[in-house]
Structure 1
Amino acid sequence: MTGTELDTVVEAELVDDNDRLPAVPAHVDINDTLTDEAAEDLANSGRENTRQTYEDQWKAFARWCAANGRIPGPPTTSKNLASYISHLRRKDAPPGTLRLAITSVRHMNARAGHEDTPDTAAALKIYQDHRYAWAASGKGQRSSAPIDLERLRQMLTVCSPGTLAGQRNRVLLLLGYYIRGRASELAALRISDLEFVSASLVVVHKRVSKNDKSSDGREYEVDDPDTLAALRAWLTSLKEAGQADPSLPLLRSVDMWGNLGPANASGQGLTRQAINNLVKSIAKTAEVDVADAVTAHGLRAGVPTDLGAAEYSAAEIKDITGDWASTEMVERYRKVGLRRAGKRTDEGRRASALSMLRINAAPDGDGRTDQS
């Protein structure tokens, strides 16, 4: 008998009959079941914001199932998923909504111990057809317009430094730009995440970032005088309100009477959705040219857009910021920046050749346009 087998026998002999675990039905292999602890860990797996998104999508799917006499599961059937995706398509929901619904249903099944469930082939066919039709109709997938320095300055003009809400909004916008912060990352900031290392430099610690390969977070050195002044004014106001404990959230809700709101059950002063709504509202109040296309994510896109306008390459911007895993998204921002600066996005011989073509220029003797 091996040591493992002996240990099993001894443990079995020490269990009192009254303390035995409920018998597992003979047709169920215990090796294919989860312990209660594992089921709980899976149910709480993933980052909180992502988990909440999946849960919200699942609830919408479950409501649709209930309204149509279907059972959502888990396990979810492939036909229920395909039927729900068809429902979303006929409502003309954006393709991204369909894709997120598929991912969410699949994720929630996995969290319940049903890996690779349901089969998504039929749902994906409907999604792909809808995505093609959506693009062909000219709708496309809208992304947030970048909030570059020009737009940022315009938005700051409507954030009065003389009010609590204005002070909070200035901090939100400036940090969002300089630390390339997502709404969820801004919502997670604590007062202790700010370290004033000198009169002209603050280090902002982003404790959790989507692209981080470790849990160490990231640090951003900010030396913009306006940002430092905005942070100091806001921290002074928090201290006067007795809300400056380092463990408290940095960004807080402010009611219509100028009172600070409490942190929520998750320890946040503002949720990511509240931050998104604030950025949208500020953009509209400031009458930014792309106000209808602005979201909080536009703050994250600001720096690469401005660096693109300064003719840095996508690879250089990626290296300078360290905030993107690939140059694909950076290249999009680079092009936006160049075009806002009135510059072509192509480079080298191609740009020179195409830029020499002018209506009012006469060709010289060798057939090339004379630009002199």
Structure 2
Amino acid sequence: MSENTEKSSSDVPIGPSSNEDNERDRPDGEALRLPSFVAGSGTLDRLVDTARDYARAAASDNTLKAYAKDWAHFARWCRMKGAEPLPPSPQMIGLYLADLASGAGSSPALSVSTIERRLSGLAWNYAQRGFTLDRKDRHIATLLAGIKRRHARPPVQKAAILAEDIRAMVAALPFDLRGLRDRAILLLGYAGGLRRSEIVSLDMHKDDTDDGGGWIEIMEKGALLTLNAKTGWREVEIGRGSSNQTCPVHALEHWLHFAKIDCGPVFVGTSRDGKRARNTRLNDKHIARLIKTCVLKAGLRPDLPDAERVKLYSGHSLRAGLASSAEVDERHVQKHLGHASAEMTRRYQRRRDRFRVNLTKAAGL
């Protein structure tokens, strides 16, 4: 019996189950149960449920969904090859990565970044099941290095929505209730450099809802957003704009006033006729659809066919647009976007600082 197998047999997960193999095949957040030597009680059972909630909160819903799909795909691939996904086998994982890169059969070859994300998903899933996946094992590391050398391509970046673009996009929106909401979403997302999930997770006040990811406070000089983001809690200051037509705080105030929102989610759905606000929080996919729709309405990049135009832009185009357009010290942009390093901020800057420093002339040429 392998060391990993012995370890998982002795360290019994928390949660009721009589089938150990089934327990190992589920992440810890779902397989939590009491140790076999502890008698159950109402209090302890409630603590098990609480522990499961905390375990599920260790990663975002989108990340958990992606990891679940990664595991399901790998488990299905293993069984088609006559193998089992548990315990981890570096040799089988190496073959799996080779299959993903080569695009054998009817499946298309995956990009290097997608393969690396799949590997991260497998490592996470193995950790949740009490195993350790050694990514430095030669069967994995050497093969992954070869895949990168042969198939790596420059990263594909979405186009930035610049200041003139965002003005054209909001001008294309109607002035009904839905238009007021979408105008506030675009301007707030742009000025705040917000992610899609951060926009839709906003509440009016702290602790308004269980699924909220932050709240707003509107002041005389602007709006203060407190966000529970990927890198932890941070505050984002959004100042008032130079005109009401493009001011994100003014747009937010208009939406809240006419939608009669004073508690709960800030951005909610509207009735089919666009005249009444509902109680349901918007999904982050709405932000992506809104951006693509407004790109077409505003006529951005008219030199390209519609299908290619919408592919150029995504939710991240708002963050990239702010980073590329704000003519301020890079440190302020880094703090505003919540980046841990200046290098990450520079990845978002599509047009700033190019050729500002000319080393050719500085070197005497």
Task: Give the structure-2-normalised TM-score.
Answer: 0.70
| Matched residues, number | 300
Structure 2 residue aligned with 1:166, among 176, 179, 195? 179
Distance, in Å, in 1 between the alignment partners of 2:361 and 2:330 is 17
Q: Letter of the 2:258 partner, please give it.
A: S
**CA separation of 1:141/1:251 partners in 2, compared to 1, >3 Å: closer, same or farther?**
same
Classify the secondary structure of the residue corresponding to 1:177.
Answer: helix
Aligned to 1:324: 339
* 1:225-264 map, 5 Å: 225=244, 226-239=247-260, 244-247=261-264, 249-254=265-270, 256-258=272-274, 260=277, 263=280
Determine if the alignment matches structure 1 residue 211 to structure 2 residue 221.
Answer: no
Deviations 1:130-172 (A, max 9, x none): 333334xxx5321222222122112212222x23332222122
* 1:37-116 map, 5 Å: 40=32, 41=51, 44=56, 46-49=58-61, 50-73=63-86, 75-89=87-101, 90=103, 91-116=108-133
Following TM superposition, by how much is the alpha carbon of 1:109 offset from its aligned partner in structure 2, in angstroms?
0.9
Specify the structure having the higher radius of gyration (Cα). 1
**CA separation of 1:29/1:57 partners in 2, compared to 1, >3 Å: closer, same or farther?**
closer
**CA separation of 1:78/1:94 partners in 2, compared to 1, >3 Å: closer, same or farther?**
same
Q: Does the 8 A contact of 2:88 with 2:133 survive in 1?
A: no
Aligned to 1:178: 191
Classify the secondary structure of the residue corresponding to 2:223.
Answer: strand
* 1:348-367 map, 5 Å: 350=360
**CA separation of 1:123/1:59 partners in 2, compared to 1, >3 Å: closer, same or farther?**
same
Q: Does the 8 A contact of 2:256 with 2:262 survive in 1?
A: no
Q: Does the 8 A contact of 1:77 with 1:118 survive in 2?
A: no
Distance, in Å, in 2 between the alignment partners of 1:175 and 1:100 is 30
**CA separation of 1:124/1:305 partners in 2, compared to 1, >3 Å: closer, same or farther?**
same
Distance, in Å, in 1 between the alignment partners of 2:321 and 2:89 is 43
Determine if the alignment matches structure 1 residue 143 to structure 2 residue 143.
Answer: no
Q: Letter of the 1:71 partner, please give it.
A: E
**CA separation of 1:30/1:79 partners in 2, compared to 1, >3 Å: closer, same or farther?**
closer
Q: Letter of the 1:328 partner, please give it.
A: E
Q: Letter of the 1:210 partner, please give it.
A: K
Gaps of 5+ in 1: 1-26, 264-268, 339-343, 358-372
**CA separation of 1:81/1:29 partners in 2, compared to 1, >3 Å: closer, same or farther?**
closer
Distance, in Å, in 2 between the alignment partners of 1:30 and 1:292 is 49
**CA separation of 1:349/1:113 partners in 2, compared to 1, >3 Å: closer, same or farther?**
closer
Gaps of 5+ in 2: 1-5, 17-27, 33-50, 206-214, 302-308
* 1:244-323 map, 5 Å: 244-247=261-264, 249-254=265-270, 256-258=272-274, 260=277, 263=280, 269-289=281-301, 291-307=310-326, 310=327, 312=328, 314-315=330-331, 317-318=333-334, 321=336, 323=338
**CA separation of 1:279/1:65 partners in 2, compared to 1, >3 Å: closer, same or farther?**
farther
Aligned to 1:34: 13
Classify the secondary structure of the residue corresponding to 2:219.
Answer: strand
Aligned to 1:6: none
Following TM superposition, by how much is the alpha carbon of 1:69 offset from its aligned partner in structure 2, in angstroms?
4.5
Following TM superposition, by how much is the alpha carbon of 1:64 offset from its aligned partner in structure 2, in angstroms?
3.5
Distance, in Å, in 2 between the alignment partners of 1:29 and 1:97 is 29
Percent of matched pairs sharing the same residue: 22
RMSD: 3.2
Following TM superposition, by how much is the alpha carbon of 1:52 offset from its aligned partner in structure 2, in angstroms?
2.7
Q: Does the 8 A contact of 2:217 with 2:224 survive in 1?
A: yes
Task: Give the structure-1-normalised TM-score.
Answer: 0.69
Classify the secondary structure of the residue corresponding to 2:338.
Answer: coil
Distance, in Å, in 1 between the alignment partners of 2:112 and 2:284 is 23
* Structure with higher strand content: 2
Following TM superposition, by how much is the alpha carbon of 1:304 offset from its aligned partner in structure 2, in angstroms?
1.9
